[in-house]
Amino acid sequence: MSTTSPSRQYYGRPARPGRQPGDAEPAPPALLEASGPCQEDRTWRAVHIRVGGEWRTGILTVWRRPARSRVWVAHVRWGEDLAWGWFIYDRATIRQVPVPPDAQAAGRPQRRGE
């Protein structure tokens, strides 16, 4: 008989590691369920997020500022899309990956004369 317990699953996804000091702060449900108009920007940005005591590479897919709130929340996916969450945005725990200047130029169509 094994003494190890199986890893917890949540709808087929691995359980998120326990929150450690310095990790990104999950957005409270009351903030996500706030009624009224909110500012929202759907995007795809590479980020590094601190979760489970480690920095992980992820994709920020939505920025949202709920009605009557002073904070922004961010929807981040990481771990081959198996893990995701809504977090209060803080530059100390969610860092955007800088885009190299040559990659920015490669993404736009070239104009005549350039």
For 82, counting Cβ atoms within 10 Å of its Cβ (0-12 exposed, 13-18 middle, 19+ buried), the class is exposed
**Alpha-carbon gap, residue 32 to 86, rounded angstroms:** 8
**Alpha-carbon gap, residue 83 to 76, rounded angstroms:** 8
Q: CA geometry: angle at 1 spanning 4 and 11, to 5°?
A: 45
What confidence score (pLDDT) does residue 32 get? 83
What confidence score (pLDDT) does residue 15 get? 58
What confidence score (pLDDT) does residue 5 get? 44
> Is 2 within the bounds of a domain?
no
Query: pLDDT averaged over consecutive 10-residue blocks of the chain (114 residues)?
Result: 46 63 90 80 91 92 87 90 88 90 58 46
> Count of domains in the chain?
1
> Is 14 within the bounds of a domain?
no
What confidence score (pLDDT) does residue 108 get? 53
> Is 84 within the bounds of a domain?
yes
- Residue 78 sits in which domain range? 26-100
> Is 15 within the bounds of a domain?
no
> Is 40 within the bounds of a domain?
yes
